[in-house]
Amino acid sequence: MTHHLFLPEIALEQGLINPAYIQYLKDWREVAIQHADNGDVAASVCHQAVLIDLVLFGKLRHDWIGIMDEFLMKSEIPVAYSDIFGKRLYGFESQTNQSTIHAIHTRWWIECLQQSRTVDHNFFANLILGKRQTDGLIYDRDVSPTILRHRMKTELTMSMAMAAEILQAAGKLTNGHFVELATNITCPTKCPTLGYMSMEYFRLKALQILNYENLFPIGIETHLESCAHDLEVGWCDFAMESKIDAYMGTAKRTQRDKPIHSPVIAVQIAALVGKVRDNTKKTQFVQRLNAYSCYLKTNPFDIPSFQMRDIPIRFGVDITPIEAICASYLGNQC
């Protein structure tokens, strides 16, 4: 039995998966192996493939560490993309040396799964500490120099949660680090409460690792209500009326976008519901979560993709392995 930061409370073990998804996951895994064995691979592919190994077989069945050793290490540092994978992305070849926090965390997590392997936690912790910025946060500014105000806030809190998990394993979280990271991840000018459920979930996980859960912002119930608006079931990651930033600019640019329900967000919301202080609202959220779980059990392939404005093409594939895992977990609670 094991867990991953992305998937709160989900025991990644054989027997978890709804039978409706089993062939899809087997096919996804086989294609990933074929590409990876030819050097066409990314850290995110290895991450999802390992999740599939765990939920289908209860253990790693393919040599993903060997794949990463051969194609996803540059100067002995984990990178996000192989050279061949980068060539498939337009204008991206020069960026295949990116060593992201997600790539570092993925390599560390997969190594931790192999009981026969001694994990050098200090090595990974030092890579993470090299990502610490002068603003007190830990994120990939060396990969993207985007200023803090314009960075995706889910990226910031996810990076902080991953960083905290690795630093904790390495014993690098001193009292000073606990306070510094917890203070900065709750600073309203650096990580304001914006109503993105994924952002708030990763903020919560980081604070739990840092033993400062009491600093989690008050008022999450307002955002839980907003993210359910205009949806018959489940939650969207964000409320459509708030989908405005410095680049999108105005509501006019997003007025045709539609909210979609997500099993990944629902699993994360299950963790956030515990921070709701109003017992009546908490009960309502739990009831909605239960109803969505039963809906996914009987409608396992109703997992929609975003559609951008009036463009008829869906943005992304219909379903991902992580969504299948989350939907299975929820359905099992019904």
pLDDT tens for the 334 residues of the chain, in order: 589 999 988 999 999 999 999 999 999 999 999 999 999 999 999 999 999 999 999 999 999 999 999 999 999 999 999 988 888 775 655 666 789 999 999 999 999 998 777 899 999 999 999 999 999 899 999 888 888 888 888 999 999 999 999 999 999 988 777 888 999 999 999 998 888 999 999 999 999 999 999 999 999 999 999 999 888 999 999 886 665 554 444 444 445 567 889 999 999 999 999 999 999 999 999 999 999 999 999 999 999 876 554 445 444 456 899 999 999 999 999 8
pLDDT for the residue numbered 151: 86
Identify whether the C-beta of residue 36 lies closer than 8 Å to the C-beta of residue 67: yes
CA distances from 142 to 33, 93, 100, 102, 276 (A): 30, 17, 9, 14, 37
Pairing of strands 314-315, 306-307: antiparallel
Buried/exposed 110-141: b ≥16 CB within 10 Å, e otherwise: bbebeeeeebebebbbebbeebbeeeebbbbb
- pLDDT value, residue 313: 47
pLDDT at 94: 61
Phi, psi of 280 (to 5 degrees): -65, -45
Position 143 scores a pLDDT of 85
Beta bridge partners of 78: 73
Which pLDDT score is estimated for 241?
Answer: 64
Helix (H, G, I), strand (E, B) or coil at 106: helix
